[in-house]
Amino acid sequence: MCREAGYEIDSVHFAEKSTDDEEYASVIAEMYWSFRKRFEVEGFHISNTQALIDDITKRKYFTNSDGAYQIEPKKAFKKRVGRSPDYGDAGALCYLDSELRLVKSSERL
């Protein structure tokens, strides 16, 4: 609806390759890792929402056979935790590093 109204929308497609595919297996892994690094910055804090805290602390990371960071698939998280990691995804999107690839709405149309 926003695009139809003429607003330019940036999209992030979680299944896409990351900007550094040797370090991260997907853009979602890169986004979560970038979000994780923000907590190392003095003074950074987030809302004390239990669902958000659970999403960012309970979602598992591992390295794939190429040594790149990979994040637990949403389906596996949902099975293990009982719900989708929507709050974690939203937090990662809110603090998306500007150098991560964004697909401009004009490129998608």
**Looking at domain 10-101, does it have CATH number 3.30.420.240?**
yes
For position 55, what pLDDT does the model report? 92
Q: Is 23 exposed, middle or buried (0-12, 13-18, 19+ CB in 10 A)?
A: middle
The H-assigned helical ranges of the chain are 27-38, 50-58, 74-81, 86-94, 105-108
For position 102, what pLDDT does the model report? 47
pLDDT < 50 stretches in the chain? 101-109
pLDDT in tens, 46-72: 887 899 989 988 999 999 999 999 999
For position 15, what pLDDT does the model report? 74
Looking at the chain, the whole-number percentage of residues with pLDDT higher than 70 is 88
The pTM of this model reads 0.76
